[in-house]
Structure formats: structure tokens, C-alpha cells
A and B are shown apart, each in its own frame.
Chain A
């Protein structure tokens, strides 16, 4: 009886401290955690590509807020879309972003990542990272915001001054204005199918 009580007590303390520590993580710590997990996966030679990508997707899904990214990408068109269309877009879009991101990171398996700094402004922050390669340093900034539970989630990635979201937004808006929302969705589906049939 006493033993059981003790276990419950210990467990609840552990849970509480876990919650507190995640709430107090700095934006950089959060990004570093995810980036480190991805690097570990990339350097694990024992993994086959399918498993590795699956694991990487998992890490990304726990740090990237694809719904926020989708809203920002579609901008005006987000509100015009029905709930169902929004849902579908989020799904397809996260798939594409994951692909782009994973594709880019996979190219830099053996490099070091530096964290030159972060800028926090209220519930938002920019975490600066630098991929150090032999010929150049590639700056990748993560825009993050704090969720109610205190976790920092990514809503934009800026590679060498190029915001992924702004970039998707302008080209997607052009496609929507020419071919409509359904045209965009169809194009995204085709693209994903094409990517799946291709050896990576």
C-alpha cells in the first residue's frame, strides 16, 4: 500500500517536473533538441532510409506547426476554403514541407550546426542556426511561437534570407488565381504521388 502510494507520488513528481522543464525551455533549446534528434537520425548508419524518414517526420511533426504554416501560406484563400478543404490542404502541405526540409537536411549529413543567437519578443522568437560546411556557412533561421503549454513551435523557416512560407505563398497564390483552389489541391496531390514513385 505504502509502496504503491510512493510510486504514484514519484510518478506525479516526475510528470510535474517534466511539464515544468518543457515550459521553461528556451526557443533555442527547443530547436536544438529537434535538430539534434534529426542529426542523430541522419548519422545513424544502421537505419534504412524508410525508417529514417519516418522517424524524421515524427521529430518534425513535434516541432513544426503545419496548421499555422498552412494559414500563413494560403493567406486570403485560407478563409475562403471550407473546413474540409483546409484540412486537406494542411495534410498535403505538411507532406511537401517535410519533403523539402528533409531533402535539404539530408544533403548536409556531416556538417556541424552552430547557434549564434535568438531574438525573443513576447510569445514569438527567431532562433538563428548556422550550418557550417567546408565552402560556406548556410544560415537557417526558425521562426517560433509559444503555445499555451509553453512549448515553442516553428511557423516559418528562413534559409539564406528566403522565407519558405512567403515563397510558397506567392507561388501558391498565383496557382490559385489561375486554376482555383481545387486546381492547387490537384497539383499538390500529383506532386506527392510523383515524389512517392521516385526513388529519393
Chain B
């Protein structure tokens, strides 16, 4: 497992080095497709981590609503691995519908709602170091302090994290930060879009982030081997059981679910990095 991790890191760094190179070239080579509208936000990340979203296509202008375009952002996801990604997407889709969902349905049937919520809080609390460390690394010390306080309060008064006492009684809300966002904060673009088996939509940057995150979650240090994976699976099943069919909803309405989810994910992550 450790070897695999190192191998992946090396591979990912190698590829992201290449991608970094491609990044600087990309705007020139792709900015002019036939509509003149393609703007690679992912490729256009400058050193400060700001995406210079190249001016919106002026042809969006129209006589009726000339102003509607001025806050538009073009979003085109760099997806050179699309054929492979679509394969993994298909795999995850089947996994979700034929394994995860039925299990989650049975789970929801036997588990009382408050307990599911408690388990969700519990795992979220164990992931506190991810948020504390990454808020700190981005210089967001107030958020880091907020997460540290939340961890202290919820672990003690919240009985090992089963209750989100910090939110319910002290009005301290969770600030989501992770390694992918930290890397983005320091100007590293997402690189190619990547669908990970089991974990879903990601990118080269966020994939590396995910690996780093998994080493900051306390679950990793509390249990090992089978117990660790049991904990991971329980967390996932619990999460799906609590979810209100988000994936089904999105999939049902989208003309091409792969594209829709890919673009939603890219926007979601970009927004997370910026905030």
C-alpha cells in the first residue's frame, strides 16, 4: 500500500510537471476553436493561483440583454483522459447503483436518523486535522483556530464527536479545507480531470490532495488493516444513506451525465479554492 502510494505520488508529480508545461501553452493553442469561445480556465492559472478567465466571448452580447454577459465565466475542463475517465465513470456508476445504493438503503432501514447523523459527525470530527492543517497552510489562522476549537468542543462535550455541539450551541460552523485547495491556493492548477475508481470525480491535483488528506484523518491512526477499511466503508455507506439522491437527480436530468458532473465538479473545486 505504501509502495503504491509512493509510486502514485511520483507518477502524479511527473505528470503534473508535464501538465504545468502544457498549461502555459494551452491558451494560445486552444483559445481559438471555431466559435472562438473556448477559454481554458484550468489551463490559465497564473502564478498567484488566480484564474485569468479570458474575456467572455463578446458574441454573447445581444440586443435584448446586453449586460448579462459581463459576469460570465467560461469553464472548459481539460480532459485529455476522457476515454479512460468515461470508463471509470461507468464503473463507479454501476458500483453505486448495484452495490453502494442497495447497501445504503438497507442500512437506512435499520438505522435511526439521529444515529446516522451522529456517525456522520463522528467521522467529520476525525477529519478535523485536515481542515486545521490546510486552513493554517493557507494562512487562514482564524479558520484554523475555529476548526481547532470545534475539534476540542465536539470531542469532549460532543462525546467523541457524535454531536456537533460547536455548531449547535456555539455557532461555530465547519470550514471545509483540504490539501487540494491548499495546492490551488499556491497557484497549482487542477491539471487533467481524473475520475478515480471508488472516489469519483477529481483531478491530478486533487487526487494528490486526497492521498495527503487520508494521512491527516485520524481514522488512519486509530485503526489498521481490516478495521481501517471497515471504518472507511461505514463512513461512505452512512454518507450515501444520509444523502437525498443527489447523484440520481443530477443523472436523471443531464443530457450527458459525464459532462455535466465533470463541469459541475470543476466549478465546485474552483469555487472552493477561491474561497
Contact = CB atoms under 8 A, between A and B. Distances in A.
Interface of A: 67-68, 71-72, 75-79, 96, 99-100, 103-104, 107-108, 123-124, 134-135, 137, 143, 145, 155, 160-163, 166-175, 177, 184, 187-188, 191, 195, 198
Contacts, number: 116
B255 A100 contact: no
A174 B57 contact: no
Contacts of B252: 103, 195, 198
Q: Which interface residue of A99, A108, A124, A170 has the most chain B CB atoms within 10 A? A: A170
A96 B69 CA distance: 22
Contact of B117 (A135, A173, A195): A135
Nearest to B37: A76
Q: Which interface residue of A78, A143, A160, A174 has the most chain B CB atoms within 10 A? A: A174
Contact of B263 (A96, A166, A175): A166
Contact of B255 (A134, A188, A198): A188
B59 A167 contact: no
Interface residues of B, number: 46
Contacts of A78: 60, 62
Given A68-B68, A107-B249, A135 B59 contact: no
B256 A145 contact: no
Nearest to A103: B249
Given A162-B268, A162-B271, A170 B77 contact: yes
Given A71-B62, A161-B272, A166-B267, A195 B253 contact: yes
Nearest to A176: B35
B259 A79 contact: no
A138 B251 CA distance: 19
Contacts of A124: 67, 71
Nearest to A168: B260
B62 A171 contact: no
A187 B255 contact: yes
Given A161-B271, A195-B252, 5 more contacts: A79-B62, A135-B117, A167-B267, A170-B76, A187-B255
B35 A77 contact: yes
Interface of B: 33-37, 57, 59-60, 62, 64-65, 67-69, 71-77, 113, 117, 120, 173, 242, 244-246, 249-250, 252-256, 259-260, 263-264, 267-268, 270-272, 275
A91 to B, nearest CB: 16
Given A137-B173, A167-B260, A177-B33, A72 B117 contact: no
Q: Which interface residue of A104, A166, A167, A169 has the most chain B CB atoms within 10 A? A: A167
14 contacts: A68-B68, A71-B60, A76-B60, A107-B245, A124-B71, A134-B113, A143-B71, A145-B68, A160-B271, A161-B275, A171-B260, A173-B37, A191-B253, A198-B252
